[in-house]
Structure 1
Amino acid sequence: MTAPPFPLDADTGKARLADLTALLHACVEAGASVNFVNPFTRQEAEAYWRGQVLGAVASGLRDLFAVERGGRIVGSVQLDRDMPPNGRHRAAVTKLLVHPDARRQGLATALMDALEARALQQGRTLLTLDTRTGDPAARLYRARGYRAVGEIPGYCRDPFDRGLDPTTILYRQLTG
């Protein structure tokens, strides 16, 4: 049975660092385009969580949500609220990750539900994100009401370093 998504504070994130590291590593190895290129080590995955995520969570600039099954984290998503003064009404959705063994079970939808509810609680009414053009995640975002504003060619390196891929920029306006 999969428990509902839950927020992770910095201390809990540190305590669950092995799970978060394994999740990111598995997703990148499976071809997720989430800023990393294979070969991608567990040490690099851990350094990402320690260096870029947990500090931002501790300082209140980012929310981290996770979902677990069988006592291990199998999905996560982040709400980046580090915006300039004229953008305090918006936030960015980053790193929606679902372990390859746990996909197609509604976990991404549940994670996005939790993230969007938190965004609204914090007065964030505009969410933005980008995704590699053609990725399955784009269908999820569009089904949730995210609208594409454009595509940038050659935006990101393919996770297997086979060349450059385009990315699609999307947004969604939230209402309470």
Structure 2
Amino acid sequence: MTVTRVDEARLTALLGELADLLTDTVDGGASIGFLAPLGRDEALAWWRERAAAVAAGRIAVWVAHDGDRVAGTVSLALPDKPNSRHRAELVKLMVSREARGRGLGRRLLATAEKAAARTGITLLHLDTETDSPAEHLYRSAGWTRAGTIPDYAASPDGVLRPTTLYFKQVGAAATAGT
């Protein structure tokens, strides 16, 4: 599998496949901000908005391909305030149900972490559904639990679930403590 950062043009070219990945992820029960069933038109519109954010430099997106098929994606939401340029939010880590269990989620996570560190970002943060498979991934990849918020977001089936916040120091900040 290959993982590459995409620009606005490449993201736009992949809109259909990315929309299919998003609907597959939601249909598979992942709590990534959408309720099921997620229609393809809604997924396409969401990705179109991401393309504009990529063009504006507000988000960085990586896409994983398994052969010629999109198998996963991860993004970093980049800050726009002068006092927060050292941090970014890891968002929308998605792996197709077909590609799960082969280490792709961990590879996407590592790609985003390394890219962040290369650009001078020293702190990453994220939120994820408590007790989800994603939470296990983050813990096993060295992320630190900051706390849990009850009834924070609805799962794809509409049930309110707690969310756990995580952070990870990367780059210079990660090696300063060693």
Q: TM-score, normalised by structure 1?
A: 0.95
Selected match of 2:41 from 43, 57, 71: 43
Q: Distance in 2 between matches of 1:85 and 1:50?
A: 27
- CA shift, 1:175, in A, is 2.5
Q: Which residue number corresponds to residue 103 of structure 2?
A: 106
Aligned partner of 1:143 in structure 2 is: 140
Q: CA RMSD in A?
A: 0.9
Correspondence 1:173 to 2:169: yes
- Number of the residue aligned with 2:124: 127
Map Cα deviations across residues 55-106 of structure 1 (whole Å, 9 max, x no partner). Answer: 1111111110011113011100001113421110000000000001100101
Give the AA of the match of 1:20. L
1:77/1:115 contact within 8 Å kept: yes
Structure-1 separation of matches of 2:59 and 2:26: 22
Q: Does 1:73 align with 2:58?
A: no
Q: In the alignment, is the contact (CA less than 8 A) between 2:120 and 2:171 conserved in 1?
A: no
Instruction: Measure the CA separation in 1 of the matches of 2:119 and 2:171.
Output: 12
Task: Note the residue ranges of structure 1 that are not aligned, 5 or more in a row.
Answer: none
The equivalent of 2:16 in structure 1 is: 18
Rounded to whole Å, the distance in 2 between the matches of 1:82 and 1:26 is 29
Distance 1:108 1:157 in 2: 22
Deviation sequence 1:29-80 (CA, Å, 0-9, x none) = 11110000012101111111012x1111111111100111130111000011
Q: Which residue of 2 aligns with 1:86?
A: 83
Is the contact between residue 79 and residue 87 of structure 2 (CA under 8 Å) also seen in structure 1? no
- 2:151 counterpart SS class: strand
Aligned length: 172
SS across alignment from 1:130 = strand
**In percent, how many aligned pairs have the same letter?**
39
CA distance in structure 1 between the partners assigned to 2:171 and 2:9 by the alignment: 31
Cα distance in 2 for residues equivalent to 1:11 and 1:92: 23
Letter in 2 for 1:41: G
Task: Give the AA of the match of 2:114.
Answer: A
Work out whether residues 88 and 121 of structure 2, in 8 Å CA contact, stay in contact via their aligned partners in 1: yes
Structure 2 residue identity aligned to 1:23 = L
Contiguous gaps of at least 5 residues in structure 2: 173-178
Runs of 4+ residues over 3 Å off in structure 1: none
